[in-house]
Amino acid sequence: MNTLEVKDLSFAFKRTQPMLDKISFSLESGEVLGVIGPNGSGKSTLIRLLSGVLKPDGGTIFLQDRPAQKFSRRERAQIIAVVPQQTSIEYQYRAMEIVLMGRSPYLQRFELEGLRDLEIARNALAATDCLELEDRMIDELSGGERQRIILARALAQEPQILLADEPTTHLDLHHQVKFMRLLSELRRSKPISILFTTHDLNLASIFSDRILILDRGRVASFGRPEEVLDPELVSRIYRIPLKLVPGVFEKKPLLFPEIDS
């Protein structure tokens, strides 16, 4: 079953310059989809369209086989949660307060979080390995801890689809791998589909079930990593010669730039 289906999605900030041009793909339930592509290929725009921050100029997004525009903002926030690249949080909230904000799509206007919301937030903190950070001020946390709290906030929304926009860009190697491992392990405990964008081709290869390559607003390729990560195609898109190193990590293809020595 597809939880998310995108048909001929188009978007342009300026009429002459389409950011996305008739994109089509699907996200199956329980799947991890990595989206890669050079700067300006439309990755972030895609995330903002899927999360409803931007309105498409053409095409349709289907959530659970219903057109996305039929959902209210709150309903959409109960299905889709977003982990941004970097969050600047104004005012000194504690980590738990941030995670509980993920419950707001479920609360009435004057309603405070109840015991059930608290339990969901605790489970989210446990799933991202940050239970001990609960009472800490958010601006005292390291980048990696902070990004895990933001992930916990997204999980507290109990989404069926998790969108992550370059979630590891500002993290060091340790936290990159830790974050991605947490992300892919989420599927074990609950039915959740994940779409993430990244600049790291090998991170995408290792952690994705399928990969979508965007190039100047169009789908250049879409499929399993070993089908899609063709060195010739990817070299052309990134305009740099790449060499394929096959089968090092669970038969996933890895790509490295060829640097003349």
Partner 1 sequence: MVVLTRSKLFSILGLLFLLLIGSVLLTLFFGPAQINLKLPEVFSQFSALLRSQELSKDGTILFRIRLPRALLAVLVGGGLALAGASFQALLRNPLADPYILGVSGGSALTAIIGMIIAASSSFVTVPVFAFGGALAAIFLVLAVARTGGKLPVITLLLAGVVVNSFFSALVMFVLSVASTQHLPSAIYWMMGQISSKNYSTVGMVAVYFVPGIVVLLSLSRDFNLFSLGEESAQQLGVNTERSKLIAFIAASLLTAVAVSVSGLIGFVGLMVPHIIRLVFGPDHRLLLPASFLFGGIFLVLCDLISRTLIAPAELPVGVITAVLGGPFFIWLLRQSRERMIR
Least CB distance to partner 1 at residue 14 (A): 15
Q: List the one residue out of 199, 227, 233, 189 whose CA is nearest residue 211.
A: 227
Least CB distance to partner 1 at residue 90 (A): 4
91 binds partner 1 (CB under 8 A): yes
Least CB distance to partner 1 at residue 13 (A): 11
Number of residues that bind partner 1 (CB under 8 A): 40
Contacts 24+ apart (CB under 8 A), 70-76: 74/105, 75/105, 76/51, 76/52
Out of 66, 74, 116, 190, the residue judged to bind partner 1 by CB under 8 A: 74
109 binds partner 1 (CB under 8 A): yes
Name residue 160's amino acid. Answer: Q
**What sign has the CA pseudo-torsion 177, 189, 49, 109?**
negative
Out of 1, 40, 53, 67, the residue judged to bind partner 1 by CB under 8 A: 53
- Residues 150-169, one symbol each (x = binds partner 1 by CB under 8 A, - = not), give -------x------------
- In order, the DSSP letters of 185-236 are HHHHHS--EEEEE-S-HHHHHHH-SEEEEEETTEEEEEE-HHHH--HHHHHH
State the burial class of residue 42 (Cβ atoms within 10 Å of its Cβ: 0-12, 13-18, 19+): buried
Stretch that binds partner 1, among 25-33, 74-82, 215-223, 224-232 (CB under 8 A): 74-82
Kindly tell me which of 33 and 133 has the beta carbon lying closer to partner 1.
133
81 binds partner 1 (CB under 8 A): yes
H helix runs in 19-142, sequence order: 43-50, 73-79, 95-101, 115-127
Stretch that binds partner 1, among 6-14, 97-105, 227-235, 246-254 (CB under 8 A): 97-105
Stretch that binds partner 1, among 60-68, 133-141, 202-210, 251-259 (CB under 8 A): 133-141
Out of 65, 135, 250, 260, the residue judged to bind partner 1 by CB under 8 A: 135
For residues 211 and 223, what is the distance between their CA atoms, to the nearest angstrom?
6
Bridge pairing between strands 193-197 and 161-165: parallel
Q: Residue 162, Cα to own-chain centre: how many angstroms?
A: 6
Kindly tell me which of 53 and 240 has the beta carbon lying closer to partner 1.
53
122 binds partner 1 (CB under 8 A): no
Least CB distance to partner 1 at residue 11 (A): 16
Out of 6, 49, 82, 155, the residue judged to bind partner 1 by CB under 8 A: 82
Judge whether 122 and 131 are in contact, CB under 8 Å: yes
Indicate the angle between helix axes 143-156 and 173-189, nearest 10 degrees. Answer: 20
For residues 124 and 189, what is the distance between their CA atoms, to the nearest angstrom?
11
Binding residues (CB under 8 A) for partner 1: these are: 48, 51-53, 72-74, 76-78, 80-82, 84, 87-94, 96-98, 100-102, 104-105, 107, 109-110, 112-113, 118, 134-135, 139, 157
